[in-house]
Amino acid sequence: MIQFELERHFATEAKDLYYAFQAKEKEENQFFIVLFAIKKVIADYYFDLLQRVNIKPTAVEISTLSNLKFIRLKDSWEEKLIATLDLDSNTIETNILKEGNIECSR
């Protein structure tokens, strides 16, 4: 199912991507899937830069999923509508979470 969605939404084959996803069953045989992907050639460029300065990452994750994991550490997160903003000098990432699931990420 994930490979099908990758190839449907990204203009490349799944083998050329690094990806992360979350899947939650909505109803029997129906799923809500949040899927993030980056082309390996782009990510590998940055991995190579890190390796050149002797930095060895142990994990790489999309900020949206990291923020979601952080929010889930709090009590009663599933009962709320939550918005997160991830700000840096050039971008703003906005996430809307409803009942603990990502509804929108931009």
Vertex 50: Cα angle to 44 and 55 (nearest 5): 135
Predicted confidence at residue 54, as pLDDT, reads 92
Confidence of residue 78 (pLDDT cuts 50, 70, 90): low
* Residues 80-101, mean pLDDT to the nearest whole number: 79
**pLDDT tens digits, 19-57:** 888 777 778 888 878 788 889 999 999 999 999 999 888
Does the pLDDT of residue 74 top 70, yes or no? Answer: no
CA–CA gap between residue 86 and residue 68 (Å, rounded):
12
